[in-house]
Structure 1
Amino acid sequence: MNSYAVFLRGINVGGINIKMAELKDALKSRPFSGTKTLLASGNVVLASDLDPAGVKTEFEACLRETFGYDAWVVVLKADRVAELVAACPYPPDDASTHTYLTLASDHHALTELYDAGSALDGTELTRLGPEAIAWLAPAGGTLDSPFSKLSSKPKYKASTTTRNLRTMIKVRDAATGLGS
């Protein structure tokens, strides 16, 4: 059994409101165990015998069937979340900046996003692997930062989601040893 972190895209914003207790209850019908929701922003850890693609398929189907919206998730093995957190060159807490990780289920879309983001003036980002980019935003100005505006374009909606590094650390800690 493998431990996974599942990152939901676009819930509890834009009119798609899902209570975490309802999500956890809906997931009981799927081939998952040890399911835990973290924070109210769509972070789930669970264990499953499925591979990452299977977890993604089952999870998205559950969201669509239960909550009736076009659902997209990024699924990472728990050990990969730990590797990404460790590889991030930016601090989790800083008075002047916030650190974010943009995660992707489509490596080509992330490469395109990284290349476009690298061309932006004043944007500091680091490619952590085929599924993640770490980047900095000014404290209090995340949504107005050039990379945030770029990454929120509709063409990235189905394949990317962003979490701050502090959230990634909480997800890492919750997923550690879940499926072993």
Structure 2
Amino acid sequence: MTAYIAMLRGVNVGGNSLKMSWLREACADLGLQDIQTYVQSGNIVFSSRLSASKLEQTLKATIDKQTRLPVTVVVRRAAEMAEIITGNPFLKQKGIDVAKLHVTFLVEAASKLAASKLDVLAGTRDEYRLAQREIYLHCPVNYGESKISNNAIEKALSVGATTRNWKTVTTLHEMAIAS
């Protein structure tokens, strides 16, 4: 069994209401094990023998069919999340406030050419670094006021994505390796 983390985009915001108890039950019905949810925004930790891409498809189809909520589902193995955490380039900067760090998880890798569109969004205030299927963000003022929002990233890159703050990223990883 492999430990996984699934992150759903847009859950329990903007009228997209989804009970975590229902989500846990739906995951159990799919044969997933060791299921836990974190906060009310669509974060699920579980174990499965399926691949990440199969899990993304299956979870999305189940949620779409049973709730009619158009959600993006991003799944990462716990081992991948560990690499994402250790690979955050902003952690190497002195005096960085981790409360100002976020990670945008992409459904698929973005091309460097498409990613160059993010320069305009980041402007002079916010910083980003593109990895494989993640974008590390440093928003020193406030992510809520940043122009490099999840919606803007999806539009610029033409790829589904979901963003989590650094505390959520590290907590989800800790939950996954503990299960």
Shared fold by TM > 0.5?
A: yes
Asked if the contact 1:113–1:151 (Cα under 8 Å) also holds between the matched residues in 2, the reply is: no
Any unmatched runs of 5+ in structure 2?
none
Alpha-carbon distance in structure 2 between the residues aligned to 1:47 and 1:6: 11
In structure 2, do the counterparts of structure 1 residues 89 and 43 end up closer, same or farther at CA, with 3 Å as the change threshold?
Answer: same
Runs ≥4 residues deviating over 4 A:
110-113
State the shift of 1:3 in Å.
Answer: 1.0
State the distance in 2 between where 1:18 and 1:112 align.
36
Measure, in 1, the Cα distance between the counterparts of 2:112 and 2:172: 24
Q: Return the TM-score normalized by structure 2.
A: 0.85
Matched, 1:143 2:144: yes
The count of corresponding residues between Structure 1 and Structure 2 is 173
Match of 1:126 among 125, 129, 132: 129
- The secondary structure found in structure 2 opposite 1:28 is helix
| 8 Å Cα contact 1:114-1:133 kept in structure 2 | no
Q: Distance in 1 between matches of 2:25 and 2:152?
A: 35
Report deviation, 1:174. 0.4
TM-score, scaled relative to structure 1: 0.85
Alignment of 1:74-89 (within 5 A): 74-89=74-89
Measured after TM superposition, the shift of residue 90 of structure 1 is 2.6
Larger helix proportion, structure 1 or 2? 2
Larger RCO, structure (CA 8 Å, separation 6 or more): 1
* Matches of 2:70 and 2:103, distance apart in 1: 23
Structure 1 residues 152 and 159: CA distance shift in structure 2, 3 A: closer
Corresponding residue for 1:114? 115
- Which range moves more in the overlay, 59-68 or 3-12? 59-68
Q: Alignment RMSD, CA only? A: 2.4
- SS of residue paired to 1:75: strand
Partner in structure 2 of residue 29 of structure 1: 29
Would you say the 8 A contact 2:3–2:48 is kept in 1? yes
Q: Which residue of 1 aligns with 2:161?
A: 160
The structural deviation recorded for 1:138 is 2.9
Shift in alpha-carbon separation, 1:51–1:88, aligned structure 2, 3 A? same
Aligned residue in 2 for 1:13: 13
User: Is 2:114–2:156's contact at 8 Å kept on the other side of the alignment?
Assistant: no
Deviation at residue 154 of structure 1 after TM alignment: 8.7
Aligned residue type for 1:168: V
Residues 49 and 131 from structure 1, CA distance in 2 versus in 1: closer, same or farther, beyond 3 angstroms? same
Q: What amino acid sits opposite 1:176 in the alignment?
A: I
Q: 2:87 aligned with 1:104, yes or no?
A: no
